[in-house]
Amino acid sequence: MIEIDGSYLEGGGQILRTAVSLSAVTGQPCKIFNIRKGRPNPGLKAQHLNAIETVARLCNGKLKGNKIGSTTIEFYPGEITGGKFSVDIGTAGSITLLLQTIIPPAIYTKKEIEIEIRGGTNVMWSPSIDYFRHVFCNFLDRMGVYVKIDVQKRGFYPRGGGVVRFREVPGQRLKKLSITERGKFKRIDIWSVCSKDLKGRRVAERQIEGFKKVLSYTEHEHSLYTDTLSTGSCIHAHAHFENTKLGADFIGSPGMPAEDVGMECAKILKDEMNSGATLDRWMGDQIIPYMALAGGGEFSASEITNHAKTNMWVTEKFLPVKFEVNGNIISCKKM
């Protein structure tokens, strides 16, 4: 059994998600202890519990210690089969973090997977569903794996209520991804998403106006007002280059002018663009397990985050690969 110290480096839920995901893929049981030890409320929260229980359903696995607040779990994976079912994270638990956990084993399913997930689509401390669709899924597609993400309803904090349908077909295989040069800059696309009650104040449009005060060379601009259980707003933007995409999100908060929300998103994206890196800092940590499963690859990241370092550390425990960091360049090779 592979034992993982959940307090390592960033010490958050990322360790749990990556470990259980790769355990399902490789068939190696794992024990994770000190789960979220450094957090104000240590142990499993609802979104973590839903993520690992969903993986267990995908592979007919068994869990021990799977309850709210637990700081130790054991996971015994079975055969990855797939199927059709639904998951309710509750309130505004992040849908994209659950998707991060289930996609690696879903790649190896023997039959089609369809999952309806309820929770938060645009919430703090996680990629927005817009980043996930337009940036993360873009790189997954380039690696030979296509997933369908259908956003039925948006969910903001605190009530959530978002609905996303995820589908993946069997028989797909990952291939290596190496991006060492960006190529020429092409354009920036923006998605500004708000609850319908903010339409009278033109919040979605004003977020875009604020964004363009910092980065004016946009091409596709999308303003969306939608029925939600909670008032909320989010802006996502990504920059297209010949060989890559760089993305950024920013979530609106009460009392913050819409223009400022847009400007903050643009500042983040501008920093990513000025870094010269081929992947933004979030993609730089999310791509790690897929590189290892594909058997290698190389990219540069705007920042080597603790999330990225943690993911490399966990991934090397399950797969015969070695990651190397040279400056802001991460490479992966088979051992």
Active-site residues: which are they?
A: 307
Query: Is 246 in contact with 280 (CB distance < 8 Å)?
Result: yes
Query: Is 328 in contact with 277 (CB distance < 8 Å)?
Result: yes
Cα–Cα nearest to 32, from 10, 56, 45, 15: 15
Q: What is the DSSP string of 289-330?
A: HHHHHHTEEEEEBS---HHHHHHHHHHHHHSSEEEEEETTEE
Query: Is 77 in contact with 58 (CB distance < 8 Å)?
Result: no
3-state secondary structure of 243: coil
3-state secondary structure of 179: strand
Q: Dihedral through CA 168, CA 64, CA 121, CA 137, nearest 10?
A: -30
Cα separation values, 175 from 292, 293, 294, 312, 318, Å: 10, 9, 5, 18, 18
